[in-house]
Amino acid sequence: MGYVDEVLVKVKEKNASEPEFLQAAEEVLESLRPVIDANEELYRREALLERLVEPDRQFKFRVPWVDDKGQVQVNVGYRVQYNNAIGPYKGGLRLHPSVNIGIIKFLGFEQIFKNSLTGLPIGGGKGGSDFDPKGKSDREVMAFCQSFMTELCKYIGADVDVPAGDIGTGAREIGFMYGQYKRIRSVNEGVLTGKGLSYGGSLARTEATGYGLLYITEELIKCHGESMEGKTVAVSGAGNVAIYAIQKAHQMGAKVVTCSDSTGWIYDPEGIDVALLKEVKEVKRARLTEYAAMRPSAEYHEGRGVWQVKCDIALPCATQNELLLEDAKQLVANGVKAVCEGANMPTTIDATKYLQENGVWFIGGKAANAGGVATSALEMTQNSERLSWTFEEVDAKLKGIMVNIYHNIDDAAKRYGMEGNYVAGANIAGFEKVANAMLAQGVC
Ligand code: NDP
Ligand code: 2IT
């Protein structure tokens, strides 16, 4: 049995109750086959893959807090420090009732390769809690965040592990967590990214994941001789990534006709009104039914259905496994040209294969949504040098990073005879740097 297969068997045995992690690990290991096969003896002797799939350490802790009625609530907190071969652990904190160790591990594992692709010195980590911010008052969210950070602060630090936002964690939550970190540790340091602009945050971090997604999508389209101008785009999600993806797509002359949340979706043939969407989601924290009520051109539908709409480009920006095989078939039948992932692992493995086999240009999340964490690393740099860059400076660096990522993953795929397979290209390019760093640093 080859080394990749040996490791896959062990990973499946050891993590049988973690389907999302297994999905992420399988996708990566399968696509690394040509690289591993070329150095099989060395990698096996060094147990490189076994070391890569096993986190450096993982923390699980109780998060007690008091709600507005005086009732004590208890949530579970997690932080997985996956791999710091190329820099401090870096990755977001997800607050969603579905959060469990398998989901945090899948996200942390993917983060290793994504962070490597940015070209910046950041390792992989992820954390979060099964706390649901929906329907909670600001005071309850603060109580949770303070309790969460009271434990988390023992494990993080500006040169150790730097968390950030993810689903359910935005500027409000990062602010409360940062305040608590400072109370306990008495240091002003770049321990979190996505901070408010008045206390160490970076301009353009809020926009970065969505904008970065469009920069790489534009480069992909351009390299295939086309432009974003006049393209019809389907976006899922209505959170941080989706909103700024829609905004940048419109700035590029495309028209985004859909968005969605966890209860329903919008079809707006006139193009999504970003200002209204921001008002509904960022300010009122309301459902998309409110968008439809204020926008005569929009239709609201319950459930899921974004991928049924005819489009040239599809950008899944909500959550994992939200684009299934049947959706991929519909997209292909409707003539989709490109699918680029704003979310982490939104497309199932069979749907990805179907899209690739049917000639769709497909860029996975590790490359396509790397603009968020890349700009987080730029925030860390600004914190270290105690300077703030202008929006234009940060945005220009972000664009450069995304264009670079496209060419790196394209080149890596070509080097291994898989031209156009950007999923394999991203996994290979991300892996090479981490693997070299691990080998250079010995058995650890
Ligand atoms: P937000 O919390 O801002 O928004 C998430 C959006 O997805 C919301 O519209 C939410 O709907 C919807 N959603 C969440 N869970 C589900 C579900 N189970 N079914 C259907 N819809 C769902 O998160 P982000 O925009 O920050 O994150 C979106 C994705 O992008 C995630 O996969 C995240 O890991 C990834 N990502 C985020 C980055 C960042 O910088 N924020 C960077 C790179 C990747 P509702 O409003 O109803 O909850
Ligand atoms: O999935 C991701 O890359 C993020 N949620 C952003 C992580 C970060 O550290 O900015």
DSSP annotation string for 150-202: HHHTTT-BTTTEEEE-BTTB-HHHHHHHHHHHHHHH------SSS--GGGT--
Give the pLDDT confidence score for residue 240 in this predicted structure: 98
Mean pLDDT across the chain: 98
Query: pTM, whole model, 2 decimals?
Result: 0.98
Ligand nearest to the CA of 376: 2
User: Measured from the CA of 369, which atom of ligand 2 is nearest?
Assistant: 3
Distance in Å from the first CA to the final CA of the chain = 26
Q: What is the pLDDT of residues 193-221, one digit of tens each?
A: 999 999 999 999 999 999 999 999 999 99
**Catalytic-labelled residue, pool 90, 114, 126, 195:** 126
Distance (Å, rounded) from C-alpha 100 to C-alpha 105? 9
- Choice from 23, 166, 280 to test ligand 1 binding pocket (greatest atom count within 8 A of CB): 166
Angle at 102 between CA 421 and CA 363, to 5 degrees: 15
| Ligand 1 contact via 20 beta carbon (within 6 Å) | no
Sorted by where each starts, the structural domains of the chain and their CATH numbers stand as 55-189 (3.40.50.10860), 206-368 (3.40.50.720)
Does position 376 have pLDDT exceeding 90, yes or no? yes
Ligand nearest to the CA of 20: 1
* Token pair recorded at residue 121: 């010195």
**126 classed as catalytic:** yes
Assign 27 a pLDDT band (cuts: 50, 70, 90).
very high
DSSP annotation string for 214-270: HHHHHHHHHHTT--STT-EEEEE--SHHHHHHHHHHHHTT-EEEEEE-SSEEEE-TT
Distance (Å, rounded) from C-alpha 231 to C-alpha 173? 36
Q: With pLDDT > 90 as the criterion, what percentage of the chain qualifies?
A: 100
Q: What is the pLDDT of residues 325-342, one digit of tens each?
A: 999 999 999 999 999 999
- Name the burial class of residue 171, with classes exposed (0-12), middle (13-18) and buried (19+) by CB atoms within 10 angstroms of its CB: middle
